[in-house]
């Protein structure tokens, strides 16, 4: 590596190392806050973490953004609130499929897509959904379909109160 490249790498690594050092100081109060929640919140976090690809951060964001599960009448309403519902336009008797609506929380959408990538890597059912959609519509739409299905499964788990024992296969 040239001296100039080495200098640039060191300049980029310093802030990264600083932030990595700050990470435990931030994570500990967040974990304590999550553990000191109501028993219902603790159970909901445990239920969400039973899904492949869903960790502490993902579960916390989903619960914070969706609020009370009873508020959403159905999983489709939660998908629409997350902005993961596909849009449609009809004019002159013709229907055109659009991308997702992107209504609602961008943070929730981003977290669900990242969790969907993990589910594709870890769960056979998530991978199956992804592969089917990828062949038909492309990779970007496929991962959004997995994110949408993952949110539907999350809603079902929260409503039933039972952890995912089949590894995301319950959505089949």
Summarize pLDDT for 8-54 with one digit per residue, the tens.
Answer: 998 999 998 998 988 888 888 878 877 787 888 888 888 888 888 88
Containing domain of residue 74, as a range? 36-171
Residue 141 inside a domain? The answer is yes
pTM: 0.75
Average pLDDT of the residues of the chain: 83
Structural domain count, the chain: 1
Within-domain flag for 161: yes
Has residue 142 been placed in a domain?
yes
Confirm whether 111 is domain-assigned. yes
User: Any idea of the CA torsion for 63, 67, 68, 71, to the nearest 10 degrees?
Assistant: -130
Report yes or no on 15 lying in a domain.
Answer: no
Q: Is residue 150 part of a domain?
A: yes
Task: Give residue 82's Cα distance to chain centre.
Answer: 10
pLDDT of 70: 63
Residues 6+ apart with CB under 8 A from 60: 30, 34, 45
Can you give the length of the chain in residues?
Answer: 172
Q: Say if residue 169's pLDDT is above 60.
A: no
Determine, yes or no, domain membership for 20.
no
Mean pLDDT for the stretch of residues 73-86: 81
Q: Does the residue 25 lie in any domain? A: no
Label residue 167 by pLDDT band (50, 70, 90). Answer: low
With bands split at pLDDT 50, 70 and 90, how would you rate the model's confidence at 106?
Answer: confident
Residue 171 has pLDDT above 50, yes or no: no
Distances (CA, A) of 44 to 8, 62, 76, 170: 45, 10, 20, 18
């Amino acid at each position: 590596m040239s001296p100039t490249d080495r200098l640039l790498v060191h300049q980029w690594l310093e802030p990264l190392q600083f932030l990595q050092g700050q990470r435990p100081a931030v994570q500990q109060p967040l974990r304590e806050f999550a553990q000191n929640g109501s028993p219902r919140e603790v159970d909901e976090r445990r239920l969400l973490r039973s899904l492949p690809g869903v960790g502490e951060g993902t579960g916390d964001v989903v619960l914070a953004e969706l609020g009370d599960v009873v508020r959403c009448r159905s999983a489709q309403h939660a998908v629409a609130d997350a902005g993961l519902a596909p849009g449609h336009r009809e004019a002159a008797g013709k229907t055109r499929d659009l991308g997702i609506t992107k209504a609602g929380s961008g943070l929730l959408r981003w977290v669900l897509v990242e969790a969907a990538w993990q589910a594709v890597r870890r769960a056979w059912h998530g991978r199956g959904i992804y592969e089917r959609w990828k062949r038909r519509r492309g990779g970007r739409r496929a991962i959004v379909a997995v994110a949408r299905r993952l949110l539907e499964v999350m809603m079902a788990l929260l409503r039933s109160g039972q952890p995912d024992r089949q590894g995301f296969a319950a959505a089949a």
